[in-house]
């Protein structure tokens, strides 16, 4: 994760900043919202990586070829437990992000925020449903992997897709 964080820091320092963006980021309540959002996204991104490892491990075990890289991974039960711990913390921070967004942003459904807001709310519902399904019905395995990756994809499009469209296309 450190190389990715370094790359993101380098990329953000090279991105031109307008005076309006400086005013928005100077507000401490907005900074809190941004920090909570980044932590939520990071935890869900780690969950997506964990889900991919879990899927790879499951496929290797089912195909009776658990050699190579699989030998260094923890047991599949521990991998799944870690996945749901990461998802639980990610859900808590995503909930905090949405709450702080509703309280501290002037208009969370403003034209430049509406895509991010709607996709984040949909991701929150998917993640909440997955966690509820895990507790109530014992969902795991491929179901958990699919729902985790769809949550991550929605957040990725919400955070980076709208930024890409507004900064580079429009």
Q: What is the value of pTM for the model shown? A: 0.81
pLDDT at 133: 97
Instruction: Provide the pLDDT for residue 153.
Output: 95
pLDDT of residue 31: 78
Domain ranges of the chain: 18-169
Answer whether 126's CB lies under 8 Å from 154's CB: yes
* SS3 letters across the chain: CHHHHHHHHHHHHHCCCCHHHHHHHHCHHHHHHHHHHHHHHHHHHHHHHHHHHHHHHHHHHHCCCCCHHHHHCCCHHHHHHHHHHHHHHHHHHHHHHHHHHHHHCCCCCCCCCHHHHHHHHHHHHHHHHHHHHHHHHCCCCHHHHHHHHHHHHHHHHHHHHHHHHHHHHC
Per the document, the length of the chain is 170
pLDDT beneath 50: ranges in the chain? none
User: What was the pLDDT predicted at 78?
Assistant: 95
What is the structure's pLDDT at 147? 97
């Amino acid at each position: 994760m450190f190389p990715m964080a370094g790359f993101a820091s380098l990329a953000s320092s090279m991105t031109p900043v307008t005076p309006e963006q400086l005013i928005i980021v100077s507000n401490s309540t907005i900074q809190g919202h941004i920090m909570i959002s980044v932590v939520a996204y990071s935890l869900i991104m780690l969950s997506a990586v964990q889900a991919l490892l879990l899927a790879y491990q499951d496929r290797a075990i089912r195909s009776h070829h658990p050699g190579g890289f699989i030998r260094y991974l923890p047991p599949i039960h521990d991998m799944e437990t870690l996945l749901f711990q990461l998802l639980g913390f990610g859900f808590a921070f995503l909930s905090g992000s949405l709450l702080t967004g509703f309280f501290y942003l002037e208009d969370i459904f403003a034209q430049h925020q509406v895509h991010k807001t709607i996709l984040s709310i949909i991701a929150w519902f998917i993640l909440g449903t997955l966690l509820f399904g895990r507790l109530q019905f014992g969902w795991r395995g491929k179901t958990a992997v699919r729902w985790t990756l769809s949550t991550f994809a929605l957040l990725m499009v919400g955070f980076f897709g709208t930024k890409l469209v507004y900064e580079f296309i429009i």
